[in-house]
Amino acid sequence: MRYPKYAGSFYPSNPESLLGMLGDFTEMGVKSDDVIAIVSPHAGYIYSGRTAGSVHSVLKDAETYIVVGPNHTGYGMPIAVSTDEWLTPLGSVMPDMDFIDAMPKISVAPDETAFAEEHSLEVQIPFIQYLHEDFRIVAICMGLQDEESAREVADEIIRAHEETGRSFALVASSDMHHYIPDEECRRRDEIVIEAIESMDVKKFYKTIYDLQASVCGYGPIAVAMHIAKYFGGNAELVHYSTSGDVADKSFVVGYAGIAFRV
């Protein structure tokens, strides 16, 4: 069992309080059957919850939700998949072992250490629990986020989808630029968002490297781009904010909610 590490800090540990917050953040959204993947931020809900809720609200219903996040801690395997049951204040979620077993495990390895202290995946799961029913998850933590690793992770997901026939949707967990003035953050984030919307993965990586961008989950974003490209999809910005919307504007983090439609 992977117990909630960040309930009570990043989001409420009280189920009623959590449900109220999730309801507030998702009330304007409408699910869309053509949204196969999203980019969603993973900061504390008071900062990024509005953006996360807006983009989670359009994500389609699926049998399996693949949540891909960056490894902030350095613990565990370079690219890890969890086979644990995940617990949140809203209840537990089972792993999709058929899907996980069908992944070739060329670059992705089963390992729980990578997830023990990692917040980027945990904070996405209550949104999925609130908005969807009868699903399982595949949690993937990327310590390696280079272009080749992102393509390999996407290939493993596609292979497992083809073998199992599972309907799935993917959540790429990432914040945008970190700890710069609000105006500069918005300017730099706009450049990165345009690269994502181009659906050109090489252009996206060049943009990240040229800007020396502090986008923490650029690898998971690239995985989402690859998955969407496989299904002939497009990217669109659903919601954008910064922590400066609720806190000091001199030192902010950017949050983009992006949907991939097929």
Residue 30: per-residue pLDDT = 84
Please compute the mean of the pLDDT values over residues 199-219 and round it to a whole number: 98
Residue 175: per-residue pLDDT = 98
Cα(44)–Cα(241) distance, rounded to whole angstroms?
Answer: 13
The two three-digit tokens of residue 116, written as one number: 């023990």
Please compute the mean of the pLDDT values over residues 238-256 and round it to a whole number: 97
Please compute the mean of the pLDDT values over residues 235-246 and round it to a whole number: 97
Q: Which residues contact 177 (CB under 8 A, 6 or more apart)?
A: 184, 185, 188, 189, 192, 213, 214, 215, 253, 254
Q: Which residues pair with 78 in a beta bridge?
A: none
Residue 259: per-residue pLDDT = 98
Please compute the mean of the pLDDT values over residues 33-40 and round it to a whole number: 97
- Mean pLDDT in the chain? 97
Is residue 232 classed exposed, middle or buried when 0-12, 13-18 and 19+ CB atoms within 10 A define those classes? exposed
51-81 pLDDT, tens digit each:
999 999 999 999 999 999 999 999 999 999 9
Tell me if 25 sits within 8 A of 53, measured CB to CB.
Answer: yes
Question: Quick check: 150 pLDDT over 90?
Answer: yes
Query: pLDDT band at 225, cuts 50/70/90?
Result: very high
> So what's the architecture of 15-261 in CATH?
3-Layer(aba) Sandwich (3.40)
100-121 pLDDT, tens digit each:
999 999 999 999 999 999 999 9
Residue 146: per-residue pLDDT = 98
Q: Which residues pair with 169 in a beta bridge?
A: 65
Cα(11)–Cα(100) distance, rounded to whole angstroms?
Answer: 28
Residue 194: per-residue pLDDT = 98
Please compute the mean of the pLDDT values over residues 189-213 and round it to a whole number: 98
Residue 27: per-residue pLDDT = 78
Tell me if 68 sits within 8 A of 140, measured CB to CB.
Answer: yes
Q: Which amino acid is at 144?
A: L
Residue 251: per-residue pLDDT = 95
Question: Quick check: 85 pLDDT over 80?
Answer: yes
